[in-house]
Structure 1
C-alpha cells in the first residue's frame, strides 16, 4: 500500500493516485511479481501517447489492461474523450470509453477532436 501521490512505473507507463494497493503473486522461480494495482483518488495514467485520468482504477499488470471509472478523460495529443468508465489496453494502445447511459445513468460519452493542419509546400 502506498499513500499520498503514490506512483508505480513499468517500462514507459506510469500510474499515480492518492492510494495504490498492489497485489502480488509468486512466479515459477518463487519471486513475487505484481499481479494487480488498485488505484483510488485522482488516478493519472501516462503512456507515450496518452494521458488518462479518473477517480478510481484497476490495473491488471499481467494482461496490461486498465479499467478506470468516475469522470474519465482520455487525452491523446490535442484530442480528448470524456466518459464515465474506460477500458485501456496498454499493450495494443486501444482505449474504449463507456457512457454513463450504459451503466444506467444519463451522461453520454463526449469527445473533442482537433484535426491536423495540412502541410503546404
Structure 2
C-alpha cells in the first residue's frame, strides 16, 4: 500500500464536496498525511468565451468572496490551517496540476457528479486532472 505524505483535495463547493472532504480527511488521517484543500474559481470570461460584451468584474469578485467563505467553512470543519487552503482562479484542471506540482503532493482527490454513462465515472475536470497527472 502506498504511503501518502501530502494530499490535495480539489473541491467544487457543492453539496457533494462534503463526501470528497470526508474521504480525503480519512485518507490523510490513515496515512498521517498533510491535507490541503483547493477550490478553483473559473473566470466568467472562460465560461462564456467572451461572447457577451459586459463587464463581469463585480460578479467575479462576488463569486471569489463566496468561494473564499465556503472554503473557510470547510477548513474549519476539518481544523485545517489557512495556509493549507488554496483559492485559485483559472481552468480547474490546469490549476489543480500546477498546485499539485508546486506542493509536491502524492495524491490528488477530486469529486465527480451529475454525469451519466461513461462520464459518470469521471467528470470533465476529473478526467482532465487524470490525463495530466
- Give the TM-score range, shorter chain: under 0.3
TM-score computed with the length of structure 2 as normaliser: 0.25
Whichever structure has more helix as a proportion of its residues is 2
TM-score computed with the length of structure 1 as normaliser: 0.27
Whichever structure has more strand as a proportion of its residues is 1
